[in-house]
């Protein structure tokens, strides 16, 4: 990966968080990666060592990613939207030797150095703006420092990491503790090649990094663009105004987004009265949840020449499992595909909702529904001739395993090479995969995974809450918004949003519970947007487990749920 012909836009963390404006050549990038790699070796980063990165998008982030993997070490990106407690929990899992931060997460490094709670952490690297280090700690390394220490060792040969692992990418667990999926070089390569083949990326593309590089979708797309020698425009952090400006000024041709990003772009263009479509964009890949028909239409008007594709995948599968074209401007009837596949088909006449079509598997991906072989009647069911069950996948894209302090271990989710995605679905006669739902109630909100159990545990800590059940409700912008259904204790009353409640009284409201969640260090995207006061016992199974889908169905049927956006 270090030998890419790619061009990368120079973008250190700036107070303005604007798009990058300086583009460097591929040869300059490759030379910088080699010098940085040699310097990392001089500082003691060796084969199998872990480097954690907590930063916004920048050219230095990409350069560090390539340099670490070049020497056989492993990158562990941390989500800059996490709380410090979540980040520390993740680092306890991977035991990094080095932590690289920029100004957005600099406080994490300061706290870790003060507490000395991670004995493995010996080196701190500051990316981008260097002023925070001068004011707080003078011993932070910089990319320039490390390159200068290489003493001309730019002929350093690349090393292969143990078990081929390049990356530990985190995904939230149902208990709230982050799980690190160990992703191999091979997985990154085959997934990137799939994107190149299916989306049609090439060296003439100008790619906007709107998605964060701490997510597997942003990482795999970045590698794909490096492989084809495209140009890169980096947004440190997505916002509609900066993205729209970068797309127009830098003549961006392609980008990936989640539904929330697309909704913000469409909304922003309307607010600023941008009536003319952006003609340069020709490829858009959507991930992190399905695009509604309304958003597809809005995106088509804003980017009239763009082919819009959607991908379904997961971190443990190194990004995309299936792809589907939602709109192709070269077709005479671009809405035909949406009408026949993406929208639920009424002629199927099944007793339950059929789900959402997410397209066909990529060439290197095997998919099957549990029960195809050695079927277990308790794990699948049939609608007519259709088998509905757990969605399993196998291939070079599947993670090595979950990281546990010093190695990647296989868990029960991988058996005989088949990874259980945790989703329920079926495959139709055309080979298209249909999603029925998430097996354990996982919520996909704004491209982020939210696990209800974690949010429920935080809400339960409030003295006024007797019971809370968290579900996802359909939302045009976020795909799903987090909704908390709460039963209050007898002596507590729900006062609503606008009541002048007193902190000394036994009163609850959306604002009080949201503040409670923030005080318990719950990440902002996990905090419920809406609240339902539940007036009856929650539905449960015979063993006492919550029937989450029943709760979700009732919430969804009452779309007048009060929103606290």
How far is the C-alpha of 69 from the C-alpha of 74, rounded, in Å? 6
Model confidence band, residue 388 (pLDDT cutoffs 50, 70, 90): confident
Model confidence band, residue 411 (pLDDT cutoffs 50, 70, 90): low
pLDDT at residue 5 greater than cutoff 50: no
Q: What is the pLDDT of residue 384?
A: 43
* CA-based nearest residue to 474, from 292, 330, 248: 292
Q: What is the pLDDT of residue 178?
A: 78
How far is the C-alpha of 495 from the C-alpha of 485, rounded, in Å? 15
Residue 121 has phi, psi (to 5 degrees) of -85, 105
**In sequence order, what E strands does 48-122 have?**
50-54, 74-77, 98-101
The model carries a pTM of: 0.80
Task: Taking residues 79-91, report their average pLDDT.
Answer: 92
CA-CA-CA-CA torsion for 237, 58, 189, 49, nearest 10 degrees?
-110
Q: Diameter of the chain by CA atoms?
A: 72
Helix (H) or strand (E) holding 195: helix 185-199
Task: Taking residues 72-91, report their average pLDDT.
Answer: 94
pLDDT at residue 73 greater than cutoff 70: yes
Residue 257: helix, strand or coil by DSSP?
strand
Model confidence band, residue 26 (pLDDT cutoffs 50, 70, 90): confident
Work out the percent of the chain whose per-residue pLDDT is above 90: 56
Q: How far is CA 542 from CA 501, 539, 546, in A?
A: 39, 10, 10
Task: Taking residues 54-59, report their average pLDDT.
Answer: 94
Residue 423: helix, strand or coil by DSSP?
strand
Helix (H) or strand (E) holding 172: strand 165-172
Angle, CA 333 vertex, CA 327 and CA 334 arms, to 5°: 10
Encoded tokens for 553: 């169905």
CB 309 within 8 A of CB 199: yes
CB 67 within 8 A of CB 53: no
Q: Which domains does the chain have, with CATH numbers?
A: 443-557 (3.30.300.30)
Task: Taking residues 180-205, report their average pLDDT.
Answer: 95
Q: What is the DSSP string of 510-531?
A: HHHHHHHHHHTT--GGGS-SEE
Work out the percent of the chain whose per-residue pLDDT is above 70: 79
CB 526 within 8 A of CB 455: yes
Burial of 387-411, coded b for 16+ CB within 10 Å and e otherwise, reads bbbbbbbbbebbbbbbbeeeebeee
How would you classify the pairing of strands 380-383 and 414-415? unpaired
Tokens 């991906």 sit on residue: 365
Q: What is the pLDDT of residue 515?
A: 95
Task: Taking residues 88-99, report their average pLDDT.
Answer: 95
Q: What is the pLDDT of residue 341?
A: 53
Instruction: Give the single-character DSSP code of 281.
Output: -
Encoded tokens for 552: 């979700």
Model confidence band, residue 544 (pLDDT cutoffs 50, 70, 90): low
Q: Where are the alpha helices (DSSP H) in 211-346?
A: 216-228, 240-249, 259-271, 293-302, 336-337
């Amino acid at each position: 990966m270090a030998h890419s012909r790619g061009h990368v836009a120079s973008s250190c963390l700036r107070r303005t968080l604007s798009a990058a404006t300086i583009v460097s050549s591929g040869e300059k990038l490759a030379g910088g990666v080699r010098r940085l790699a040699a310097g990392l070796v001089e500082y003691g980063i060796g084969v199998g060592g872990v480097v954690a990165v907590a930063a916004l998008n920048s050219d230095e982030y990409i350069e560090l990613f390539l340099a670490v993997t070049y020497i056989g070490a492993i990158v562990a990106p941390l989500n800059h939207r996490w709380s410090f407690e979540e980040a520390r929990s993740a680092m306890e899992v991977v035991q990094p030797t080095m932590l690289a931060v920029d100004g957005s997460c600099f406080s994490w490094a300061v706290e870790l150095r003060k507490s000395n709670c991670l004995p493995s952490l010996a080196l701190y690297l500051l990316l981008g703006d260097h002023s925070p280090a001068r004011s707080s700690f003078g011993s932070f390394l910089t990319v320039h420092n490390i390159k200068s220490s290489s003493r001309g060792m730019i002929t350093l040969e690349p090393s292969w990491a143990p078990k081929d692992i390049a990356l530990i990418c985190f995904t939230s667990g149902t208990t709230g503790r982050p799980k690190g999926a160990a992703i191999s070089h091979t997985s990154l390569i085959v997934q990137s090649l799939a994107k190149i083949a299916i989306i049609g990326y090439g060296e003439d593309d100008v790619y906007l990094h709107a998605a964060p590089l701490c997510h597997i979708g942003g990482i795999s797309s970045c590698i794909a663009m490096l492989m084809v020698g495209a140009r890169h425009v980096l947004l440190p952090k997505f916002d509609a105004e900066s993205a729209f400006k970068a797309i127009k000024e830098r003549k961006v041709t392609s980008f990936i987004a989640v539904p929330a990003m697309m909704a913000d772009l469409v909304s922003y263009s309307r607010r600023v009265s941008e009536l003319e479509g952006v003609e340069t964009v020709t490829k858009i890949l959507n991930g992190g949840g399905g695009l509604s028909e309304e958003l597809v239409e809005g995106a088509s008007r804003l980017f009239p020449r763009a082919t819009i594709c959607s991908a379904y995948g997961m971190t443990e599968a190194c990004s995309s499992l299936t792809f589907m074209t939602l709109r192709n401007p070269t077709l005479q009837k671009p809405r035909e595909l949406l009408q026949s596949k993406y929208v639920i088909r009424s002629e199927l006449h099944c007793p339950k909702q059929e789900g959402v079509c997410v397209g066909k598997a990529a060439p290197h991906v095997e998919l099957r529904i549990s029960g195809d072989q050695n079927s277990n009647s308790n794990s699948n069911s049939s609608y007519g001739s259709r088998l509905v069950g757990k969605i399993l996948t196998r291939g070079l894209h599947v993670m090595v395993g979950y990281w546990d302090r010093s190695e990647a271990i296989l868990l029960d989710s991988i058996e005989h090479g088949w990874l259980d995605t945790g989703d329920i679905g079926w495959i139709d006669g055309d080979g298209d995969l249909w999603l029925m739902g998430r097996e354990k109630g996982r919520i996909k909100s704004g491209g982020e995974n939210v696990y209800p159990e974690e949010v429920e545990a935080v809400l339960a800590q409030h003295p006024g809450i007797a019971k809370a059940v968290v579900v996802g409700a359909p939302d045009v912008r976020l795909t799903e918004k987090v909704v908390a259904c709460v039963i209050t204790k007898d002596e507590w009353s729900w006062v609503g949003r606008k009541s002048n409640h007193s902190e000394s009284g036994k009163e609850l409201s959306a604002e009080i519970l949201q503040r409670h969640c923030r005080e318990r260090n719950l990440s902002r995207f996990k905090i419920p947007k809406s609240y339902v006061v539940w007036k009856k016992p929650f539905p449960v199974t015979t063993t006492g487990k919550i029937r989450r889908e029943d709760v979700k169905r009732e919430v969804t049927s009452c779309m007048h749920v009060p929103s606290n956006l």
